[in-house]
Each structure stands twice: as C-alpha cells, then as structure tokens.
Structure 1
C-alpha cells in the first residue's frame, strides 16, 4: 500500500527534522505539572488517590494515571482539578504564561484569608 501525497507532507525529507507539535508538547508538560501539583497538595498514597477520586468524581485509576503522567486530564477534568487545587490552578496559569492572573489569583486568596482572620479576631474580642 502506498501513501498519498498528503501523507508524505508530514514525513521527514532529506534528513530534516519533523515539525514540532506544540499541542503534544503542552500535553506532556501539562501532565507532568499536574502530577507534581497534585502530589504537593494531596500526596500520592492509596488513601490520597481515593480521596482525590471522590473529590473530583473520577475513577481512582484515572487519578493514578494523572499521578504517573501516563495521561493528563481532559478539559473538563482540568477545570474540576483547578476548582479543588490551588497548586493545579497555579501550574496551569504558569504554563499559559498568565503571570498577572496568577498573581491576582494569589492576592484574592490572601485577601479572603485575611478577611476571615479579621472576622475571627473581631468575634474573639467581642463587643466594645
């Protein structure tokens, strides 16, 4: 069976290298970054894997594949991960070169935590 001319456009000719596939490169990098972020935030033991699977509504085998970088999360899975993990959100924003948004997200979290601490302090002090 011979290849059509269109198929040959993707082949290396005369020692030239293949074109770089930016999507494949990002998928591999994303899988590594997500796995690192999940390990930092949750750990990677069997109990943590089950906890992450319940939290994110996926099969534990899916979480194991993420942690082993066999597969990265799909779009919907990534959004769910970002909802539950600050480390994953930070990693995705870093990969997207969204440094301003990354900083803004950190500031928003710090502001919320500060407000919560101030409320607790005021409740502790009681009325004047």
Structure 2
C-alpha cells in the first residue's frame, strides 16, 4: 500500500531550515556553488555524470542532482571531488571564507613551476 499523493513528501520545503549564522547563507548557496564548480571543471560532455559518479562512488542520479543544484555532495563525496577538481576546492574555500588558503596554494604551485623552469633554463645554458 502506498501513500496518497498529498501524504508524499520527498523533499523539505525551501525555507524550512534555521541558519546558524544569519549573515551567512551557505546552506542555500552550497549546492549552487558546487554545481557551478563541477560544470566549470568537468565541462558539458554527456559523459561527465558517469565520470564524476565513478570518481566519487556515487549513483549517477545523485551526481545529476549535484549538477542541477538540487542537492550538494556529502562530506566524503565532497572530499573526493576536492581531490580531483581545483574549481570545487576553490569554491569550498570561498564558501568557508578562506580564500587566502587558495591564493597561498596557487602561489606555491607557481613558485615551484618557476623554479623548475629556471633550473631547466640554466641546464640548457650549461650545455652550450
């Protein structure tokens, strides 16, 4: 026996949550920000849903809900996405108001690339 249509409620109505910090609306924007980051990093190919599902071990329908910003990933799924996507990492750090960590990582990576380029250039000069 199934419930009648009026007694089926699969999702909570919007606005039913009580924000911890009234100035930060992270719950409402979390799913949207993650969806934008996923679309930016994984592109518009039809295979992106299967690719993200394989990476996270999630159901493809769940991944579609992430991409349509209906839901956001759980903690474990979010960590896996951050491991594989710079855009998701930057989005999470921006939501946490920790953009300085992202800038520090970008500067460190650029510094390492510059050191490698200088070392290569000096090696080339030494061979001549």
**Do these two structures clear the TM 0.5 threshold for a shared fold by scoring above it?**
yes
Q: 1:43 matched to which residue of 2?
A: 43
Once the 2 structures are TM-superposed, how far is the Cα of residue 37 of structure 1 from its aligned partner? 0.4
Q: With structure 2 as the length reference, what TM-score do the two structures score?
A: 0.69
C-alpha RMSD of the superposition: 2.8
Q: 1:11 matched to which residue of 2?
A: none
What is the CA–CA distance in structure 1 between the aligned matches of 2:101 and 2:66, rounded to whole Å?
A: 25
Bigger Cα displacement from structure 2, 51-60 vs 108-117: 108-117
What is the CA–CA distance in structure 1 between the aligned matches of 2:73 and 2:86, rounded to whole Å?
A: 16
Contact 1:44 1:67 in 2 (8 A): no
What is the CA–CA distance in structure 1 between the aligned matches of 2:57 and 2:115, rounded to whole Å?
A: 31
Q: With structure 1 as the length reference, what TM-score do the two structures score?
A: 0.69
Q: 1:53 matched to which residue of 2?
A: 53
**Distance verdict in 2 for CA 1:40–1:121, change over 3 Å:** farther
What is the CA–CA distance in structure 2 between the aligned matches of 1:83 and 1:37, rounded to whole Å?
A: 13
Which of 14, 19, 22 in structure 2 is aligned with 1:21? 19
Q: List runs of 5+ in structure 2 lacking aligned partners.
A: 1-15
Once the 2 structures are TM-superposed, how far is the Cα of residue 116 of structure 1 from its aligned partner? 5.2
Contact 2:31 2:72 in 1 (8 A): yes
Stretches of 4+ aligned residues off by more than 3 angstroms: 22-25, 111-123
Q: 1:81 matched to which residue of 2?
A: 81
| Matched residue count | 110
Listed one character per residue, the Cα deviations across residues 10-49 of structure 1 (whole Å, up to 9, x for unaligned) are xxxxxxxx99524894222111001000101112432111
